[in-house]
Amino acid sequence: MQVLQVQLTVGPEPAEVGRARRWARARLLGSGIKADEPLAETLMLLISELVTNAVVHTGCPAVLRMLAPGQVVPGADTVRVEVADASSQPPAPRHAGGDDTGGRGLELVEGLADRWGWSREGSGKRIWCEVDRVTNAVATMSGWGFVARRESRCPTAADAPAAHRRRC
């Protein structure tokens, strides 16, 4: 199966999040994922959250990567989103209060992605998530139109480095 693999360097400004979304939406069309599909909307939200976290928490450029099937095939395909940033600090999910205006990003990723995790990349890290695309044939067979989610790799205190270094 052919895989579409693309990447975009994202600047450290918050306005870059919107540019990353527009870029990603155009690339998804190239893999046969229409803008009005629920999958596309889910991916846009995940991309927004991961890119926002990278920009806000590092103040440095980041790299957005997407890997998607080059064409739609029967069954379930997976779209993978990765954001690499300059911080070596592992992602730290927070539990925001009702009135908090931030702190929900990784909770959204946990809830929307079929799988997510992170790994070290050079002196920084790469956070990734995967969403399974279920075609109508599979959705009909399941009766619900979605597949079970889990297998997330939530960071633990043991994952935290001794010191957080901010480098661009």
Residue 121 domain flag: yes
Q: What is the pLDDT of residue 5?
A: 86
Residue 73 domain flag: yes
Q: What is the spatial distance between Cα 64 and Cα 27, in angstroms, rounded to a whole number?
A: 12
Residue 164 domain flag: no
Residue 126 domain flag: yes
Residue 153 domain flag: yes
pLDDT tens for each residue of the chain, 168 residues long: 557 789 999 999 989 999 999 999 999 887 888 888 899 999 999 999 999 999 988 999 999 999 987 665 555 588 999 999 999 998 877 776 676 556 677 888 999 999 999 999 999 999 999 999 875 444 434 444 333 344 444 444 444 444 433 455
Task: Read off the CATH number of the domain in which 83 is found.
Answer: 3.30.565.10
Residue 16 domain flag: yes
CB-based contacts of 99: which residues, under 8 Å, 6+ apart? none
Residue 77 domain flag: yes
Task: State the Cα angle at 48 between 85 and 107, rounded to 5°.
Answer: 90
Helices assigned H by DSSP within the chain:
16-30, 38-58, 105-112, 136-142
Domain span including residue 38: 3-92+105-159
Q: What is the spatial distance between Cα 156 and Cα 110, in angstroms, rounded to a whole number?
A: 14
Express the helix, strand and coil content of the chain in percent, nearest 5 each.
30, 25, 40
- Please report where in the chains the tokens 């990349």 appear, as a residue: 121
- Tally of domains in the chain: 1
Residue 50 domain flag: yes
- Please report where in the chains the tokens 């079970």 appear, as a residue: 148
Q: What is the spatial distance between Cα 122 and Cα 52, in angstroms, rounded to a whole number?
A: 21
For 53-72, give one letter per residue: b (16+ CB within 10 A) or e: bbbebbebbbbbebbbbeee
Structure-token pair, residue 139: 């959705």
Q: What is the spatial distance between Cα 148 and Cα 101, in angstroms, rounded to a whole number?
A: 29
Backbone phi and psi for residue 162, each to the nearest 5 degrees, phi listed first:
-60, -40
Q: What is the pLDDT of residue 73?
A: 56
